[in-house]
Structure 1
Amino acid sequence: MIDLRALREKPTLVGERVRLVPLSAEHADDFYESTRDEEIRRLTGAHRRPGYDEIRQWCATRAEQIDRLDLAIFEEPGGRFVGELALDEVDPDNESAAYRIALSAIEFTGQGLGKEATRLILDYAFNRVRLHRVWLNVYAFNMRAIAVYRACGFTVEGRLRDALLWDGRRHDALVMGLLESDFRRSEV
């Protein structure tokens, strides 16, 4: 049985190169700027550009959300905001949740920051929340993200054909999943 209190606690998770903190209003400026990076928008399939007030309100309400966990990602040392991630679409009956991560600028990709952040949140998801399964969608052209997810233990479970229309081209999305048992094997 999952522990929903673990979603309400809004923890700070610390690794060697990243620190994950509860997303809040103080992160609104950085979060807003991240929604302006064209390449990040393409990689995440974000057509719509939310306004600053919408972003500020969204960030300010994350602590109130008892059925999801939204965390800001900071680089350590230095404390630069490098993105955000979430465990959402939590299904207590099936002990599963969706995962998403977005780095704030292309300059932060390829450095292992997203991989470390993903491993930290997966450890929390399986050991503290006690989920059985974590899943995600990733666009098939995002090979760097797919490689990171595979390195963290995710496997491709399916394909959503023509899920994204971007600049007149259609792209598939891959459904990837990770079971607790696979996560435990990868910890060894």
Structure 2
Amino acid sequence: MTSIWTGEKVRLRGVEPEDWRAFQRFDEYSADMRSVDMLHPPRSAAGYRRWAEDTEAREGTDDEFLLVIESLVDNTAAGSVSTHDTDQRAGRFSYGIAVGHEHKRRGYAADAAVLVLRYMFGERRFHKCEVGVYAFNEASLALHRKLGFQVEGTLREHEFFAGRRHDLVLLGLTAGEFASYHGM
């Protein structure tokens, strides 16, 4: 029997208390932090431990959750994926994905995204996924185009960081489009 949470390259799992070290390493790369969210002030090792313990103890819902992306090659935490902004009535949700610096360009983000999309479309009955990607994040834009997302618009000068304003590209993917690219 195969788990729907295991792909060709990664397995998605809950956050464990010992994952704090991996998340601390991920945050050491300011450019990576900016490309998915924003730059946060440094946190102590105790702060990372507390975050991991609190995250592990906090139960998500079937629709909104944070999972660790674990490499099947060496069973290490390679990043995270989370769902948010779920709207059951409208059938929409969003997700965010981040892969640690030393794990980039291995196909982990694509594999993890397909697993989450398959779950949200095939098990939770959502109709559409919407994501926002910073216009300078070419790798993420290419990933989402490869997954079948369509550009739906741009919010100009939407975010401020690194001393200037940045555009946010809005992309969308319907369940039918996903199924035609990846199957259910």
Matches within 5 A, 1:4-43: 13-43=5-35
Query: Which residue is 2:120 aligned to?
Result: 125
| Structure 2 equivalent of residue 116 of structure 1 | 111
Q: Unmatched 5+ residue regions in structure 2?
A: none
Q: CA deviation at 1:58?
A: 4.5
Does the 8 Å CA contact 2:36/2:96 hold for their aligned counterparts? no
Deviation at 1:153, TM superposition (A): 1.0
1:6-29 deviation per Cα after TM superposition (whole angstroms, max 9, x unaligned)? xxxxx8710111111022433222
Name the % identity: 28
Say whether 1:45 aligns with 2:37: yes
Counterpart residue type for residue 67 of structure 2: L
Identify if the C-alpha distance between structure 1 residues 57 and 164 changes in structure 2 by more than 3 Å, giving closer, same or farther.
Answer: farther
Contact 1:45 1:166 in 2 (8 A): no
Once the two structures are superposed, residues 131-188 of structure 1 have per-residue CA deviations (whole angstroms, 9 ceiling, x without a partner) of 1011111100101111111111111111111122222122101111111111111136
What is the rounded CA distance, in whole Å, between the counterparts of 1:34 and 1:184 in structure 2?
Answer: 32
The answer as to 2:171 corresponding to 1:179 is: no
Q: Structure 2 matches for 1:48-63, cutoff 5 A?
A: 48-49=40-41, 51=43, 52-53=47-48, 55-62=51-58
- Indicate if the aligned counterparts of 1:36 and 1:49 stay in contact, CA closer than 8 A: no
Alignment partner of 1:75 is 2:67? no
- Residue 159 of structure 1 corresponds to 154
Q: In the comparison of the two structures, how many residue pairs are matched?
A: 176
SS at match of 1:14: coil
- SS of the residue 2:24 aligns to: helix
Structural RMSD (CA): 1.9
The answer to whether the Cα contact below 8 Å between 1:21 and 1:72 also exists between their aligned partners in 2 is yes
- The aligned amino acid for 2:24 is Y
* Residues 147-156 or 46-55, more deviating: 46-55
Q: CA deviation at 1:57?
A: 4.9
Any runs of at least 4 consecutive aligned residues in structure 1 with deviations exceeding 3 A, and if so which?
none
Corresponding residue for residue 84 of structure 2: 88
What is the TM-score of this pair, normalised by structure 2? 0.86
Aligned partner of 1:100 in structure 2 is 96
- Residue identity in the other structure for 1:87: T
